[in-house]
């Protein structure tokens, strides 16, 4: 999945100046110091980091990466374990670049975000500080009316941003929910009729328009929705509400879904949900107060996931806006969780391995970790850390996400491979087995030769030659046996690792 800013909403960057934080050769570089984003949208916060590849003869490896905003005592609270961000946080870390993605932004997400990484080196824990300040605003855009004149119905409209943009974007203007093709600037001046409403959006982010406003008075034609998106469970009920008003007396009104209407039969005709057989007995429209309509859908099905709009007619006018309505998402229990492992790639024995599990669930899911063929759970919580990972830890691990609606699990396969330390130990052991007997045998040979020379006569010289040959053969055989034994033992160990 591509990690681009503002995947589902309007995101802007206040400052794009890079900031480098860290100690000596351990800096963290943030792509921006401040980010401004809209409530309900998605934001990417990105950084790069580096570290010495080797210290005092020891290769450096990154054992854990995390983002945080809170510190409890001496514990840095990983956002993946923070209940306030449950199901809304994703990490993508590769080639010393780490991106934090937060979806469905809330105003409470406004905070300073910092990146932290831990290595295998002594004291190798580093945090990029200061971090990135995120400001979540609602609303992000609004139409300001100025220079009004009741005599001429002249006015000036301005599309006001809650966040400042680094460039000069184009704008989209809407009159009664329909796009005005000729207007692309942030300001719009003209003669306006009191029945018409206007809204604006940044081009490319039309899914996050400003609320519609009346230029004169408050009785213009307009519809505003209480929620832009709602998530609900299969089998439950949901209320989707809108506020509306008209310049004239309303003749008819109803709710519809463009995605569910029989567009192939009559492309220009919206279908009243109360008359749709797919919603038969499950739809009710409530009018608890004047100018407010609520669509209630019961016994929800996953097929009900769609965007819902409110429509009315008043005299010859029909509100049939292209502006977004309320998007409903119906889910059947927690979704299948996703699992990740850090560090990625080969897992060297004796290293620290961090397993992370996440699932889009509401209410939030509880997480439990299991190892295949073992009955008792290994750990609970979104993060499972295995320290001193050894060959016997290899195998299939799976994470189970569970809430009141159900449960799902996902599996991860881990294998330990021999690291540099294991290879060095094998080399040293082989050296000791092969080389150490040689000086001992040479010493024995020298002592025997000395004794033979001191007591031998000439007829014994052939015997000495035979004895020397015998000792030499013994050395060769002993060394060969030692090498063979060491190789066999090393092979058996490698097979165990695999």
The per-residue pLDDT for range 370-414, each reduced to its tens digit, is 888 887 888 888 888 888 888 888 888 888 888 777 777 777 777
Percent of the chain with pLDDT over 90: 19
Mean pLDDT over residues 80-90, rounded?
Answer: 83
Q: What are the tokens at 155?
A: 């006015």
Terminal alpha carbon distance of the chain? 32
Distance CA 104, CA 84 (A): 12
The label of the residue with tokens 């009741």 reads 150
Between 283 and 485, residue with greater pLDDT:
283
Task: Please tell me the predicted confidence (pLDDT) of residue 166.
Answer: 55
Given a cut of 60, is residue 17 above it in pLDDT?
no
Q: What are the tokens at 111?
A: 């905070």
Distance CA 221, CA 312 (A): 10
**3-state class of 495 per DSSP?**
helix
Distance CA 33, CA 16 (A): 7
Instruction: Return the top range by mean pLDDT from 94-98, 159-163, 488-492.
Output: 94-98
Given a cut of 50, is residue 268 above it in pLDDT?
yes
When mean pLDDT is compared across 233-242, 296-305, 382-391, the lowest value belongs to: 382-391
Characterize the bridge pairing of strands 326-331 and 351-358: unpaired
Q: What are phi and psi of 154, to 5 degrees?
A: -90, 140
Please check whether residue 161 is in contact with residue 82, taking contact to mean a CB–CB distance below 8 angstroms.
Answer: no
Reference 135, options 276, 21, 37, 244; nearest CA is 37
The per-residue pLDDT for range 438-491, each reduced to its tens digit, is 767 777 777 777 766 665 544 444 444 444 344 445 444 444 454 444 444 443
Q: Please give the model's pTM, rounded to 2 decimal places.
A: 0.50
Reference 379, options 388, 368, 389; nearest CA is 368
Given a cut of 50, is residue 366 above it in pLDDT?
yes
Between 177 and 168, residue with greater pLDDT:
177
Q: What are the tokens at 47?
A: 């950084």
The per-residue pLDDT for range 25-68, each reduced to its tens digit, is 568 889 888 888 877 778 899 999 888 888 888 888 888 888 99
Please check whether residue 270 is in contact with residue 313, taking contact to mean a CB–CB distance below 8 angstroms.
Answer: no
Please check whether residue 221 is in contact with residue 197, taking contact to mean a CB–CB distance below 8 angstroms.
Answer: yes
The per-residue pLDDT for range 329-358, each reduced to its tens digit, is 887 776 677 888 887 767 777 788 888 888
Stated length of the chain: 498
When mean pLDDT is compared across 205-209, 317-321, 379-383, 408-412, the lowest value belongs to: 408-412
For the four alpha carbons of 249, 251, 255 and 261, in that order, the dihedral sign comes to negative
Other Cβ atoms closer than 10 A to 233: 20
**3-state class of 471 per DSSP?**
helix
Please check whether residue 288 is in contact with residue 270, taking contact to mean a CB–CB distance below 8 angstroms.
Answer: no
Task: Please tell me the predicted confidence (pLDDT) of residue 358.
Answer: 81
Distance CA 411, CA 400 (A): 9
């Amino acid at each position: 999945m591509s990690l681009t800013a503002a995947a589902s909403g309007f995101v802007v960057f206040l400052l794009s100046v890079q900031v480098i934080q860290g100690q000596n050769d351990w800096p963290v570089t943030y792509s921006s110091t401040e980010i401004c984003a809209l409530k309900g949208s998605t934001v990417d916060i990105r950084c790069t980091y580096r570290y010495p590849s080797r210290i005092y003869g020891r290769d450096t490896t990154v054992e854990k990466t995390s983002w945080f905003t809170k510190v409890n005592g001496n514990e840095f609270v990983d956002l993946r374990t923070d209940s306030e961000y449950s199901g809304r946080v994703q990490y993508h870390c590769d080639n010393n670049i780490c991106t934090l993605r937060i979806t469905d932004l809330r105003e409470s997400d406004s905070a300073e975000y910092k990146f932290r990484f831990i290595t295998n080196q002594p004291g190798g824990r580093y945090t990029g500080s200061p971090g990135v300040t995120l400001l979540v605003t609602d609303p992000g855009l609004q139409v300001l009316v100025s220079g009004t004149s009741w005599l001429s119905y002249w006015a000036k409209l301005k599309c006001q941003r809650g966040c400042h943009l680094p460039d000069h974007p184009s704008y989209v203007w809407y009159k009664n929910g329909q796009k005005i093709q000729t207007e692309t600037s942030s300001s719009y001046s003209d003669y306006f009729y009191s029945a018409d409403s206007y809204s604006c959006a940044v081009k490319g982010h039309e899914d996050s328009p400003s609320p519609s406003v009346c230029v004169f008075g408050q009785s213009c034609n307009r519809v505003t929705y209480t929620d832009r998106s709602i998530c609900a469970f299969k089998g439950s009920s949901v209320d989707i509400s809108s506020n509306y008003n008209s310049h004239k007396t309303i003749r008819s009104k109803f709710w519809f879904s463009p995605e569910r209407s029989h567009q192939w039969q009559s492309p220009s005709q919206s279908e009243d949900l109360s008359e749709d057989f797919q919603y038969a007995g499950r739809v009710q429209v409530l009018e608890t107060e004047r100018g407010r309509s609520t669509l209630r859908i019961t016994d929800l099905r996953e097929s009900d996931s769609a965007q819902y709009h409110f429509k009315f007619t008043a005299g010859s006018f029909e509100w049939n806006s292209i502006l977004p309505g309320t998007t409903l998402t119906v889910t059947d229990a927690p979704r299948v969780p996703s699992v990740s492992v850090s560090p990625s790639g080969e897992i060297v024995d004796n290293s620290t391995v961090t397993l992370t599990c996440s699932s889009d669930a509401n209410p939030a899911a509880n997480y439990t970790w299991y190892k295949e063929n073992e009955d008792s759970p290994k750990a609970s919580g979104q993060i499972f850390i295995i320290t001193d990972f050894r060959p016997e830890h290899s195998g299939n691990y799976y994470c189970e996400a569970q809430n009141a609606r159900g449960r799902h699990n996902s599996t991860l396969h881990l294998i330990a491979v021999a690291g540099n330390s294991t290879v060095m130990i094998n080399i040293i052991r082989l050296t000791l087995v092969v080389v150490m007997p040689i000086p001992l045998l040479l010493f024995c040979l020298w002592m025997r030769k000395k004794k033979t020379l001191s007591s031998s006569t000439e007829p014994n010289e052939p015997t000495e030659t035979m004895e020397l040959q015998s000792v030499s053969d013994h050395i060769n055989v002993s060394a060969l046996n030692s090498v063979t034994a060491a190789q066999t033992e090393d092979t058996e160990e490698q097979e165990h690792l695999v």
